Amino acid sequence: MNLHPYIEVNPEIMMGKPVIKGTRITVELILESLAAGEPVENLLASWPKLTKEAVQAALAFAADSLKGEKIYPVTA
Global pTM value: 0.83
DSSP state of 26: B
What span, in angstroms and rounded, lies between the C-alpha atoms of 31 and 27? 6
CB–CB of 30/58 below 8 Å? yes
Residue 65 is predicted with a pLDDT of: 85
Provide the residue ranges of all domains of the chain, joining segments of one domain with +: 7-66
State mean pLDDT over 51-72: 84
Mean pLDDT over all residues of the chain?
Answer: 88
Across 7-26, b (16+ Cβ under 10 Å) vs e yields bbeeeebbeeebbbeebebb
Question: 7 forms bridges with which residues in the sheet?
Answer: 20
7-66: CATH, from 3.30.565.10, 3.40.190.10, 1.10.10.10, 2.60.40.10: 1.10.10.10
